[in-house]
Amino acid sequence: MQMAAPNSSSVVTHWAYMVQLQSGDIPPESDGTSTQGNPLADVWSWLDNTTWNLTDTTLTSEGVPGQSFTISLFKGGYFWGQGKDSIPFTVLGSVTPEGNLLLTHCYNNGELVQRTGWLIGTPSGAKMIFRSYEGESGVGEAVLNA
Q: What is the DSSP secondary-structure string of 122-143?
A: ETTEEEEEEEESSSS--EEEEE
Cα(78)–Cα(91) distance, integer angstroms: 11
Q: What is the pLDDT of residue 3?
A: 54
Q: What is the CATH code of the structural domain delimited by 31-144?
A: 2.40.128.20
**Mean pLDDT of residues grouped by 10 in the chain (146 residues)?**
57 60 79 60 89 81 66 90 80 87 80 87 93 79 88
Q: What is the pLDDT of residue 78?
A: 86
Cα(48)–Cα(29) distance, integer angstroms: 33
Q: What is the pLDDT of residue 90?
A: 85
Cα(100)–Cα(120) distance, integer angstroms: 9
Q: What is the pLDDT of residue 105?
A: 81
Q: What is the pLDDT of residue 129?
A: 94
Q: Which residues contact 29 (CB under 8 A, 6 or more apart)?
A: none
Give the chain's radius of gyration (CA, Å): 16
Q: What is the pLDDT of residue 12?
A: 57
Residue of 8, 34, 12, 26 lying closest to 94 (CA atoms): 12
Burial 108-141 (b: 16+ CB within 10 A, else e): eeeebbbbbbebeeeeeebebbbebbeeeebebb
Structural domain spans, the chain: 31-144
CB 90 within 8 A of CB 106: yes
Residue type, 88: P
Angle, vertex CA 81, rays to CA 35 and CA 146, nearest 5: 100
> Per the confidence metrics, is the pTM higher than 0.75?
no
